[in-house]
Amino acid sequence: MDNHHHHHDHPENDARYLGLTVNSGVNQPPVVNPYMKRRPRRRQLSAGELVEGILKGDVTMLSQAVTMIESLSPEHQSVAQEVIEKCLPYSGKSRRIGITGVPGAGKSTSIDVFGLHVLRGGGKLAVLAIDPSSERTKGSILGDKTRMERLSQHPSAFIRPSPSAGSLGGVARKTRETIVLCEAAGYNNIFVETVGVGQSETAVHSMVDFFLLIQLAGTGDELQGIKRGIMEMADGIVINKADGDNIGPAQLAQAQFRSALHLFPPTESGWQPEVLTYSGYYELAIPEVWDMVDRYFEFVNANGYFERRRLHQARYWMRETIDEQLRSHFYNNPEIAAMLAEKEMRVLSNRQSSFTAAREVLEAYFNEA
């Protein structure tokens, strides 16, 4: 009776279902209804149709275009590039804000709250992410809707997880291109989230106007634990979880960060980065954090740095795109790949020097082109 979990056991083979015995091994015809065709694939939308939808603010069209940006298929890529090109004239009119912090710093909690705060003033908000370690199916998925519960319900918010794993350059380029489409769709606030570990902060910094660093107090190594380079990129440092017993330590950390910042050379923008405390979870001092962001934008708009930074970023992305395309053109060439493997063996077995091996591979590549 109680062989319920045996492999032959189908619930309907239970004594209670006698007469309904399910037999295995009965061959099924391959197609039940020979006249039934598979549902035809949805027609591929043209770049023009996508752009029209995006400019109307159609979220489905926007999502589809972003999917094409992320696609590896050359066909999708060429549609995507056309869409981006056509959206460019309508882009640029937004505040792009980068948000970083180590896992657990409270990024998703904070973005949820910051986002709602921003949307109370009207407009639209897109939350994008750069996480080179992420794959859709596993691991951390920055920008995942479930992480920003209230924001994801908001009709004026568009949340998109990080493009899935790939080279940082590739992931960052896709996010940068997605910004263009979001802006064309009328999103006048863009958040770009990244995990505060590794190189992705630099990538985010190179595509935003304001870079917000979320920190925690009370770990005892506030200043040692964070890379100097990241602090230098920050336009604002905010210490989260300044609530309950943690208020004192948060204020202490604030004082430490402030004095550390004084040791840094003046910023290019002339803006003096600020250090504030807040609580994302209890929604304390949220307007204060956002006042700082507002003041920053007033400041850099007035002194011309806003425009200058965007131009430098445009040049940076042109170069990054060239670098990335050259690399992928090189490494995706099957003959080069084969030759590389062979040369690597020779180098590893000491039969050839790295330099001559590299030169020969490059010569083969350039001569072929």
Which residues sit at the interface with ligand GDP, rule CB under 6 A? 101, 103-109, 240-241, 243, 279-282
Q: Burial level of 276, CB count in 10 A (0-12/13-18/19+)?
A: middle
Q: For residue 157, what is the DSSP state?
A: E
Is 247 or 336 the residue whose CB approaches ligand GDP more closely?
247
User: Token digits for 89?
Assistant: 């004239």
- Of 45 and 197, the one with the shorter C-beta distance to ligand GDP is 197
CB atoms within 10 A of CB 64: 19
* Closer residue to ligand GDP (CB): 129 or 300: 129
In angstroms, give the least distance from the CB of 101 to ligand GDP.
Answer: 5
Residue 106 or 170: the one with the smaller Cβ distance to ligand GDP is: 106
Minimal distance in Å, beta carbon 135 to ligand GDP? 18
Q: Which residue from 59, 78, 271, 16 is spatially nearest to 154, judged by alpha carbons?
A: 59
Kindly tell me which of 285 and 358 has the beta carbon lying closer to ligand GDP.
285
Q: Kindly state the smallest distance separating residue 328's Cβ from ligand GDP, in Å.
A: 31
CA distance 181 to 238: 29
Minimum CB separation of residue 105 from ligand GDP in Å reads: 4
Q: Pick between residue 282 and residue 299 the one whose CB is nearest to ligand GDP.
A: 282
Q: Of 143 and 170, which has the nearer Cβ to ligand GDP? A: 143
Rounded to a whole number of angstroms, the minimum distance from the CB of residue 110 to ligand GDP is: 6
CA distances in angstroms from 304 to 5, 47, 88, 142, listed in the order given: 72, 35, 21, 32
Long-range contacts of 304-313 (CB under 8 A, 24+ apart): 305/268, 305/269, 305/270, 305/271, 306/209, 309/209, 309/269, 310/92, 310/209, 313/206, 313/207
CB of 104 to ligand GDP, least distance (A): 5
Tokens of 295: 């003041």
CA distances from 358 to 341, 352, 363 (A): 12, 10, 9
Cβ 160 to ligand GDP shortest distance, Å: 16
CA distance 329 to 332: 5
Between 93 and 136, name the residue whose CB sits nearer to ligand GDP. Answer: 136
Sheet holding 236-240, edge to edge: 157-159, 125-130, 189-195, 95-101, 210-216, 236-240, 274-277
- Integer Cα distance of 271 and 232 in angstroms: 12
Q: Rounded to an integer, what distance in angstroms lies between the CA atom of residue 233 and that of residue 214? A: 13
Q: Which two tokens stand for residue 334?
A: 């099957």
Least distance between ligand GDP and beta carbon 154 (Å) = 17
What single-letter amino acid sits at 9?
A: D
Amino acid identity, position 74: P
We find the least distance from the C-beta atom of residue 283 to ligand GDP, in angstroms, to be 8
**Closer residue to ligand GDP, CB minimum distance, 105 or 157:** 105
